Amino acid sequence: MMDDMDLSLHHKMEEKDERNQLDQTAQDVLSKPLDRPEGPLKVTGRATYADEEHPEGTAHGVFVRSTVAHGWVTGMNTAALRKMPGVLAVVRDAKMLRNPAQGTAGEAPVQNPNEIFYVGQPIALVVAETLEQARHAALAARPKYEAKDGEFEVPLEDYETPPKKQSSEGDLDSAMGQAAHSVDSIYTTPAMGHAMMEPHAAVAQWDGGKLTIRASCQMLKYNVAELADSLGVKAKNVRILSPYVGGGFGGKLGISHEAVAAALAARKLKRPVSVALHRRNVFEATTRRSETRQRLRLCCDDQGHLTGFGHEAWVSSLHGESFSEPVTQASSFTYAGDNRVIGHHIARLNITCAGSMRAPGEAVGVPIVECAMDELAEKAGIDPVDFRLRNIPEKDPSTGKPYSSNRLADCLTEGAKAFGWEKRGEVAHQREGEWLIGLGVASAVRVNMLMNSEATITLDPDGHAVVETDMTDIGTGSYAILTQLAAEMLGLPMDRVKTVLGDSDLPPSSGSGGSFGAASAGSSVMLAARALREKIAERLGVEEKDVTLKDGNAISGNKVTPLTEILAGERLKAKGEIEPGATGDDVRQATWGAQFAEVAVSAITGEVRVRRLDATFACGRILNPKTARSQCIGGMVFGLGSALTEELSYDLRNGRLMTRDLADYHIPSNLDVPPMNVTFLEDRDPYANPMQAKGIGELACCGTAGAILNAIHNATGIRVRDFPATPDKVIEAIEAAQGQG
């Protein structure tokens, strides 16, 4: 038996990779619409999520939440709670978190729950024998507070303006003054919630000084470090298991309250403790997408060429948090214009901590840019698709760097054709009874990233392979694409490859976030497989590129050798490791799309019904068209929710979240969702990674809301600049326009 880890391949993306190895492999399982390998477990209820494997003797914890927005906890009726039936402990520990860690933090977030920063902040954990007893006692808690005034909204002059987050080129003011056409509009978008279906949960168990915790986490490598730092233990003594994650969308990037509190309580009680957040805890106390105020200043000449592009954003978060919604992230490189302004302003408010949510930045920035582009196209009298096509730069207009690949024009052109854009009529032109019909377009754009990621593949003597990495599958299809990749590279049928994920003892991956998971974890699997291929080729006495692997055989020259013969009773294990390099800095990497919507707007109630959503995307090699399409339709519906229904509403008198459950925070339901078409353009981005694959899941939610709002304008002639376009706002604008008319 050989040493377990004699093979490894590390690759840093320092230059473009045009080998396109995945176009030359022969197994023909990659880029095929295969079913998810873990699917049978999910559709039978056998896939186990965080709160579903309770060791013998597990106790239950429920949080006591702050009812004030700012101040200090000065006491609590702990003794009385301790006497309630079944209560084992009331944990008030300075190691508990104020708020979850931000994505990729890798260290403890702000701790000590005694200092209160928002309503709903967990301030104690009541642990009891049963869930019912813990819940009863937590609700009976009567904390004493030294309350201070909270800040729930602040005047614009009180926003921070970090110098590093401002930029300008040329003179936008004079460009606006001299332009043939210009737009200067203020838009607002509300705070939003991830609303993943599985609430955050953790089951903690100590074995001596070692902690094992089942939790719902997206990025285990970072989460282990965050949890260990929060608890004051060594990272090597912490193991996190997240084999199945019931959705994340960024809401489970960093370690959260329940994991830390469950670990503290389990250590104190010397027995396993489960803490599953109630849905209202999830909304109040995990993270949210920041509300935004955005000012768009766009101007163009009489030919519709942009001469100025200004995008300033006002967002909020808690005191001391480094993350703030990067609203203008894509604004620096999407459209032309010599005179540019980017602005970023941050308010410190006493409401739920802001954090990353699906496409942080672009998800709220791009729709607003796209609405403003629609306004300017109309003023210039140019078709909105044509107007966009006229303003796609040759290179990144802010930095002068080339694009790794820019397929926006192809997406717009192909997408318009597929959607039937030529049928779009004049504004407020088409009516069916009470319904006003309109079509809208928006570009979609999202930065593309690569992260450090490692994986191993073990090839057993009988020709079966096991892929292992701490990568997670949060519904994105990691199990499917990593299995397909290994099978493709090693020439094995799918049923001879098994993928094990979601265990922090496995090689550290990128984790799931920022749409970099498939590219990063996938590349590491590809590299591990390449290392195995090299070994196989070496044994055959040929170069790796000259060997074809298919159906468990190696083919070189005209000789077919079974893998089992080459392995000769030995087991091979290889590690692959991808590292981002110069291709992340030398060129502008992004994914591109064009999205189209058809809406019907009731002229009587202001209700908006989306009739059709179409999208054309260019996002590199598609590893599995079935799961990729699912990511896209899911993203488009995510965008639909942000356009029409979703809003975290805070009571500005006391900071209380009024829409803290799924009855009041309206994510789209089945009947809200229209037929959808998704088209992927054949795309290879050599700068991205050795697979030439890119992110998908976030791109799809970046253009939808813009297309819908622009379609509402086409239907009615009104512009809703305060998202979401709920019936009250739509009908008010329609009536106001009729009054003016």
Partner 1 sequence: MAQHQITLTINGTERSLALDDPRVTLLDALRQHLDMTGTKKGCDHGQCGACTVMANGRRINSCLSLAVMHDGDTITTVEGLGEPENLSPLQAAFLHHDGFQCGYCTPGQLVSATAMIEEIKQNWPSVVSGDLEKVSLSDDEIRERMSGNLCRCAAYANIVDAIREAAKAEGVA
Footprint of partner 1 (CB under 8 A): 35-36, 38-49, 51-54, 85, 130-133, 136, 194-199, 244-249, 276, 278-279, 474-477, 626-627, 629-631, 633-638, 661-663, 667-673, 675-676
- Asked if 297 contacts 376 with a C-beta cutoff of 8 angstroms, the reply is no
Q: Min. distance of Cβ 339 from partner 1 in angstroms?
A: 39
Check if 258 is active-site.
no
The number of residues making up the chain comes to 741
Q: Which is nearer to partner 1, 282 or 734 (CB)?
A: 282
Minimum CB distance to partner 1, residue 13 (Å): 28
Query: Rounded to the nearest whole angstrom, what is the least distance from the CB of residue 110 to partner 1 in the complex?
Result: 28
- CB atoms < 10 A from the CB of 432, how many? 8
Query: Which of 5/43 has CB closer to partner 1?
Result: 43
Give, in order, the Cα–Cα distances in Å from 376 to each of 303, 312, 380, 437, 626: 12, 17, 6, 21, 37
Q: Which is nearer to partner 1, 39 or 420 (CB)?
A: 39
In the complex, least distance from residue 36 CB atom to partner 1, rounded to whole angstroms: 7
Residue 49 CB, nearest approach to partner 1 (Å): 6
Which tokens is 489 given?
């590279």
Distance of CA 276 to the CA centre of its chain: 22
Shortest gap between Cβ of 563 and partner 1 (angstroms)? 27
Q: Specify the residue for token string 């403790």.
A: 273
CB of 168 to partner 1, least distance (A): 39
Q: Smallest distance from the beta carbon of 698 to partner 1, in angstroms?
A: 13
Report helix, strand and coil shares of the chain as percent, to nearest 5: 30, 25, 45
Q: Which of 209, 194, 215, 201 is nearest to 502 (CA)?
A: 215
In this complex, which beta carbon is closest to partner 1, that of residue 46 or of residue 417?
A: 46
83 vs 559 by CB, closer to partner 1: 83
Please enumerate in sequence order all residues whose Cβ is within 8 A of that of 675, keeping only pairs 6 or more positions apart, or say none.
612, 613
- The one-character DSSP state at 50 is G
Centroid of chain to Cα 361: 11
CB of 463 vs partner 1, minimal distance in Å = 23
- Nearer to partner 1 by C-beta: 204 or 547? 204
Token readout for 425 is 């009529």
Q: What kind and span of H or E run contains 79?
A: helix 78-82
Residue 41's identity, in one-letter code, is L
Q: Which ranges in 155-256 belong to alpha helices (H)?
A: 172-178, 220-231
**Interacting residues of 395 by C-beta distance below 8 A, sequence separation 6+:** 401, 402, 403, 588
Separation of alpha carbons 697 and 632, rounded Å: 6
Phi and psi, residue 623, nearest 5°: -85, -30
Q: From its phi and psi, is residue 96 left (phi > 0), alpha (psi between -120 and 50) or beta?
A: beta
Give the amino acid at 215: A
Query: Least distance to partner 1 from the beta carbon of 195, Å?
Result: 5
Considering 157, 698, 732, 735, which one is annotated as catalytic?
698
The conformation of residue 293, written as its DSSP 8-state character, comes to E
Distances (CA, A) of 623 to 31, 138, 646: 4, 47, 31
Q: For residues 472 and 638, is the Cβ–Cβ distance under 8 A?
A: no
Closer by beta carbon to partner 1, 248 or else 304:
248
Planar angle of CA 677, 679, 680, nearest 5 degrees:
150
Q: Is 383 exposed, middle or buried (0-12, 13-18, 19+ CB in 10 A)?
A: middle
Q: Which residue has the tokens 């006493």?
A: 350
User: Which residue lies nearer to partner 1 by CB, 9 or 277?
Assistant: 277
Q: What is the 3-state secondary structure (H, E, C) of 89-104?
A: EEECCCCCECCCCCCC
Q: Which is nearer to partner 1, 512 or 553 (CB)?
A: 512
For partner 1, the closer of residues 282 and 549 by Cβ is 282
191 φψ region: left (φ > 0), alpha (ψ -120 to 50), beta (else): beta
Could you give the CA distance from residue 726 to residue 728 in angstroms, rounded to a whole number?
6
Which residues belong to the active site? 698
